[in-house]
Structure 1
Amino acid sequence: MARVRIGEVAELAHAYRHVLTLRHTQTDELHDVVLFRMTGHPLTFYCMEARCPHLGASLARAPLRPGLDDVEDLIVVCPYQYDFTLRTGASSTGLRACVFAVTIDEGIVYIEPPTNDVIDGAPVWTLASRQAISEAWAEPPPMPSSTNEKPTSLASLGKSASFDPHTVPPPTPAPTTLVAWAALILRTPSPLHKVAYTRYAYEACAAGIDIGGGAWENGVWVVPENEQPPAWPPRMEDEQRVRPGQEGKRGKGGTERSRIALLHALANIEQWAIDLAWDIIARGARLSAQHMQTPTDPTPAMPLPRDFFTDFCQVANDEAKHFTLLQRRLLELGSWFGALPVHHGLWEAAVETSGDLFAPIVHLVHEARGLDVNPVTIRKFAAAGDQASVASLQTIHMDEITHVAAGHRWLTFLCAAHPARLSPVHVFRHCVKTHFAGRLKG
């Protein structure tokens, strides 16, 4: 079998993933694949096409989760929730991604080429480039190794050497529905535990946990007590809270102090974004059932499919990843989340829309505003030579595109499902004018 030399095992062991660009020596055709490095001894590698066969979304930073049929199988999940087994490329959707055999010979890693073309017995494919993807979230979480003792303050988290959600074990007892997970996470003030519990909930959702969310009883939608979210998620006691706009000037990113202030403000946004995603999951079943009520059908079935909840579970998991990236960068710069004042403006938007089924509007407004601002912020950090922060901000920016897509998908779904067949454009414009302040770009 033809094979392409990728590099020494020692060269590939420092990153969980590499994007490999292969070049056809006769046609100059380029072909991208992703090499996945697993932990363990000896090291194990998998190789798959770099883009999902569904819509071409990149798999370079797509999350991994354990397989449902075999715990040793790993599944990569594209931004649109298409899943592919790393070992075979098979998907529960019926699609299949191309995978390439990986062999290790005397400490050298080789992969199967896209085609078996050879000239004079030698393969025509060569390695053109190899780019490491340094992303800790590419690995499935290891088994927890510490107690469930919660930090007492944001400052205590800041004094720790690292921000590692892997050290937090699952709650005991663990919630038995996804909505109960959402309510628990919304009641959790520690950002470390909020992030860790989000990961556990994401894995439970991928494993098929029941959604929950309540049911009709005598004409009233009743939600179990453990599935009821708080009106306002609690925060750590030493949080410095101010009104929106009163945080102080953050500068233009030219100094380290200014960049810390910008990263801190973004970390505050991401922590609230975790809660916003779980809030949609917690309220979705009740609001959607009430949304479908008519005079002739006062207790309609809840219309939302499981995909609604898995989409926003993915959003929550992404936001938890973003907070982790920002908190770790703050620690590297000698600061931490909580060292500066923050505001609760994002949650005020959630309160404003708490009785409105069209909560995905949040993801079409706040997330889209972020897409407008992020490139400017990234350029500021790049101009200052802060490439470590740029890498994190670029990851956040690409994920937020899929979050806007999720908001769009479910706004249009809910409008189509409504008995009156609502217009998504009219609903969007009405909700924006009703609930949101500030100028919106075209």
Structure 2
Amino acid sequence: MVPLRRLPALPLTRGSTRRRLLATGASPLPWPGLHTWRRAPPSDLRSWGPSGPCAPNTDEAGAPEAGAGAGHGSSLSEMGALVLSTAAPLGKAHLTHASFSRWAAGGLPVGLARAPDHPARPEKPLAVTQKEVPTHKAMGVPLNAYMLHNLAHVELNAIDLAWDTVVRFSPLRDTLGDGFFADFARVADDESRHFRWYSQRLAELGFRYGDMPVHNLLWRECAKSSSDVSARMAVIPLVQEARGLDAGPRLVQKLIGFADHRSADIVAKVAEEELAHVSVGLYWFLKVCEMMGRVPGAAFRDLIKEHDVVMRGPFNYQSRDEAGIPREWYDETLKPEVASNLSEVHDRLACVVEMEKENASLNG
């Protein structure tokens, strides 16, 4: 694929409006809450109290694994590379929050850094193939603890996936702009908070992350898209993270059936917050397609096929619609519409810009 930085940006079509897109039955619009999510300060609600998310009882910055190394980085990319090189799971989460908080305070450039081939990992959990992961019955552990351990592993990988996106594509900063890197650093911070919630709940159940074997399927998916930013957006936010939207309600119901309402509440909150991550991935996929002169729907299907990514249902259409992913992109039962030009993506992007300007005027 032609490197993105060699391609000029195309002008947006003027006169697009949200009303026009809705009236003409165009593809679902990106999530309206995206502007608010981007403007929010770093969240310190990194513990789970009796009524939901809350600030930790002790100052996280004073913890032994708090990641003081964030102060040593001279750019966002360098701090991201440091997170990727940190093996301790809680240390990785602490360092992520410290790094993003420093970036959000302003004054740091995106910079340039090199992403490692693989993120650092602790000795435990034991990594096995997907087929070798034992069931909770085979291990003799409760279903809720088993599910939470798997989810904690997903979130730990998600931290690294987001930072890898920041670091690996830092050479494209002049093309993509600072907003791309700010968005995915924010995603990493959200994922670090989710990992903390799951880790806390595991501890309450008498377990900790590392007690059960895991597989590395998620990181293999990341490696598939390491050389192409459009593929990274398609494979990670629009496939892997979208699966979280699909699975969230089912997992919540399983935990409620297990009479673990506290864990169910955590999973429900995480699934709710993942909506922003899918939506921001869609936003940047559309932007990159516009820059490259590609029709988004066709590009998405081509990239999924090229990188051998399997689309698995059942799909949570309601959440996917809210995030803005057109159904014909991922549902093979729907016949994709063939577009002869870039009018659809231009309209969608122009609408996003218009929405954000309206939100800025209301909030500013």
Normalised by the length of structure 2, the TM-score is 0.69
Q: CA deviation at 1:171?
A: 1.6
Q: CA deviation at 1:140?
A: 11
Letter in 2 for 1:260: A
Are the equivalent residues in 1 in contact too, given 2:136–2:143 (CA < 8 A)?
A: yes
Higher relative contact order (CA 8 A, sep 6+): 2
Q: 1:349 aligns with which of 221, 224, 234?
A: 221
What is the 5 A alignment of 1:162-181? 168=66, 170-171=68-69, 174-181=72-79
Instruction: Tell me the equivalent position of 1:272.
Output: 157
Aligned in 2, Cα 1:245/1:371: closer, same or farther, shift over 3 Å? Answer: farther
**Equivalent pairs: percent with the same residue?**
29
Letter in 2 for 1:245: K
Q: Deviations over 1:8-40 (max 9, x none)?
A: xxxxxxxxxxxxxxxxxxxxxxxxxxxxxxxxx
Instruction: Tell me the equivalent position of 2:147.
Output: 262
Is 1:408 paired with 2:282? yes
Is 1:136 paired with 2:136? no
Are the equivalent residues in 1 in contact too, given 2:110–2:178 (CA < 8 A)?
A: no
Instruction: Tell me the equivalent position of 1:394.
Output: 268
Q: 2:210 aligns with which of 338, 353, 364?
A: 338
Structure 2 Cα separation of the partners of residues 147 and 236 of structure 1: 17
Structure 1 Cα separation of the partners of residues 271 and 70 of structure 2: 35
Q: Deviations over 1:272-293 (max 9, x none)?
A: 000000000002232x37xxxx
Letter in 1 for 2:256: A
Aligned in 2, Cα 1:245/1:209: closer, same or farther, shift over 3 Å? Answer: farther
Letter in 1 for 2:206: G
Structure 2 Cα separation of the partners of residues 278 and 212 of structure 1: 12
What is the 5 A alignment of 1:149-188? 168=66, 170-171=68-69, 174-188=72-86
What is the 5 A alignment of 1:219-238? 227-238=113-124
What is the 5 A alignment of 1:275-354? 275-286=160-171, 288=172, 302-354=174-226
Q: The residue matched to 1:363 in structure 2 has which SS?
A: helix
Aligned in 2, Cα 1:205/1:172: closer, same or farther, shift over 3 Å? Answer: closer
Aligned in 2, Cα 1:146/1:317: closer, same or farther, shift over 3 Å? Answer: closer
Letter in 1 for 2:162: A
Q: The residue matched to 2:182 in structure 1 has which SS?
A: helix
Are the equivalent residues in 2 in contact too, given 1:178–1:209 (CA < 8 A)?
A: no
Letter in 2 for 1:342: V
Are the equivalent residues in 1 in contact too, given 2:77–2:170 (CA < 8 A)?
A: no
Q: The residue matched to 2:165 in structure 1 has which SS?
A: helix
Structure 1 Cα separation of the partners of residues 201 and 250 of structure 2: 19
What is the 5 A alignment of 1:90-169? 133-137=51-55, 142=59, 144-147=61-64, 168=66
> Rg: which structure is higher?
1
Q: CA deviation at 1:208?
A: 1.8
Letter in 1 for 2:39: Y
Unaligned runs of 5+ in 1: 1-54, 59-76, 85-131, 149-167, 215-226, 290-301
Aligned in 2, Cα 1:83/1:348: closer, same or farther, shift over 3 Å? Answer: closer
Aligned in 2, Cα 1:268/1:205: closer, same or farther, shift over 3 Å? Answer: same
Letter in 2 for 1:427: A
Instruction: Tell me the equivalent position of 1:239.
Output: 125
Q: CA deviation at 1:173?
A: 5.1
Q: CA deviation at 1:308?
A: 1.0
Normalised by the length of structure 1, the TM-score is 0.57
Runs of 4+ in 1 over 6 A off after TM superposition: none
Structure 2 Cα separation of the partners of residues 345 and 247 of structure 1: 12
Are the equivalent residues in 1 in contact too, given 2:183–2:280 (CA < 8 A)?
A: yes
Q: Deviations over 1:318-370 (max 9, x none)?
A: 11011111111110001111000011111111111111112122110001111
Structure 1 Cα separation of the partners of residues 58 and 162 of structure 2: 21
Letter in 2 for 1:82: R
Q: CA deviation at 1:83?
A: 4.4
Q: CA deviation at 1:205?
A: 1.7
Q: The residue matched to 2:68 in structure 1 has which SS?
A: coil
Are the equivalent residues in 1 in contact too, given 2:237–2:278 (CA < 8 A)?
A: yes
Q: The residue matched to 1:228 in structure 2 has which SS?
A: coil
Instruction: Tell me the equivalent position of 1:384.
Output: 258
Structure 1 Cα separation of the partners of residues 93 and 77 of structure 2: 16
Are the equivalent residues in 1 in contact too, given 2:87–2:121 (CA < 8 A)?
A: yes
Q: Would you tell me which structure has more helix in proportion to its own residues?
A: 2
Instruction: Tell me the equivalent position of 1:208.
Output: 106
Q: The residue matched to 1:135 in structure 2 has which SS?
A: strand
Instruction: Tell me the equivalent position of 1:157.
Output: none
Structure 2 Cα separation of the partners of residues 141 and 311 of structure 1: 28
Structure 2 Cα separation of the partners of residues 383 and 147 of structure 1: 38
Letter in 2 for 1:284: F
RMSD across aligned positions (CA)? 2.5
Structure 2 Cα separation of the partners of residues 136 and 411 of structure 1: 33
Q: 1:82 aligns with which of 35, 39, 47?
A: 39
Are the equivalent residues in 2 in contact too, given 1:280–1:360 (CA < 8 A)?
A: no
Are the equivalent residues in 1 in contact too, given 2:156–2:191 (CA < 8 A)?
A: yes
Q: The residue matched to 1:233 in structure 2 has which SS?
A: coil
Q: 1:364 aligns with which of 238, 242, 265?
A: 238
Structure 1 Cα separation of the partners of residues 250 and 63 of structure 2: 40
